[in-house]
Amino acid sequence: MASELNPAAVYTDFQGLTALKAGAREQSPEALRAVAKQFEALFLQMMLKSMREAGEGDPLFDGEQTELYRDMYDKQLSLDMSEKGIGLADVLVRQLQMQSGDKPAVGKELTVPQRLNSVFSPAVAAAVAGKTTAVTADEIAASPEAFIQRLWPLAEKAAAKIGASPEALLAQAALETGWGKAVIRRPDGSSSHNLFNIKADRRWDGEGVAKQTLEYRDGVAAKEVGRFRAYDSFAASFDDYVNFLQSNPRYAEALRRTDDPKAFVRSLQDAGYATDPAYARKIGNILDRGVVADATAALKSPGQRTLS
């Protein structure tokens, strides 16, 4: 039997989806009700987020920390509203129960995911069914918190290959892309998915994208046009980043210091990964910021790790 809506289970998107997936595997009326309640809570959360984005903001108090805690407040507010109910869950239950009257050819009753697929969009139904969807450029650019949450599974997988911490890779990618807002784009406007701004040198036989960049030569900054690698996905960017470091002998020292995130990025700078003399310090500042610690702490909490 499915449990009632658990406040802690919908406080974040990740954990809310975990509960949805678990409930969708059950075929009882209680499971249907629990899934509908979860959708109601997530719907309210998205509605509040849209209302915030439509506002002009507060020029005096707006900032990343303010946005982080305001988002946490909105999530809790949507949770409280869904506990009282706005009627959406009842509508969903009735609609989904109607779908159960349609018998498939094999004569079995439709499962909860099948009913959801007939009511909601394929993306929503896929999330409830437990299927992973590709990370998009718009998702990671939404906020620093979203950047960390959406890319965490990819960073964790890549970091494990070189013995580094996911936080170090995410902080580096955040600096290189302005928290996802400045990922290099192709001429048609689509994302290059290049999170680490690796250039397309003669060793690269894949797609490349030209872009103006700021380089430091003998301590003097100058604008240059560089050619950068382009990938089909952010997952491919993480994979190539690992391969790039492992295949270049000059990064051997950095790979020996992956147990210390700041020492790791300092070694990358010393090896010539970037020409900016403040490159390692800037990444260290990102690692020290509260948004990184808060977001990663939530992801490491029990029940939070659901994406892959």
Task: Judge whether 239 counts as a catalytic residue.
Answer: no
- Give 247: exposed, middle or buried? Use CB within 10 Å, 0-12, 13-18, 19+: exposed
Radius of gyration of the chain from Cα atoms? 22
DSSP labels, 22-56: HHHT--SHHHHHHHHHHHHHHHHHHHHHHHHHHS-
Residues 265, 292, 261: CA angle, nearest 5 degrees? 20
Q: Read off the tokens for 274.
A: 């970037």
d(C-alpha 42, C-alpha 36), whole Å: 10
Do the beta carbons of residue 146 and residue 137 sit within 8 Å? no
Q: Of these residues, 40, 167, 176, 240, which one is catalytic?
A: 240
**3 CA to centre of own chain:** 28
Q: Of these residues, 109, 215, 224, 260, which one is catalytic?
A: 215
Residue 165's CB is within 10 A of a number of other CB atoms, namely 19
Task: Judge whether 240 counts as a catalytic residue.
Answer: yes
Query: Which positions are catalytic?
Result: 215, 240
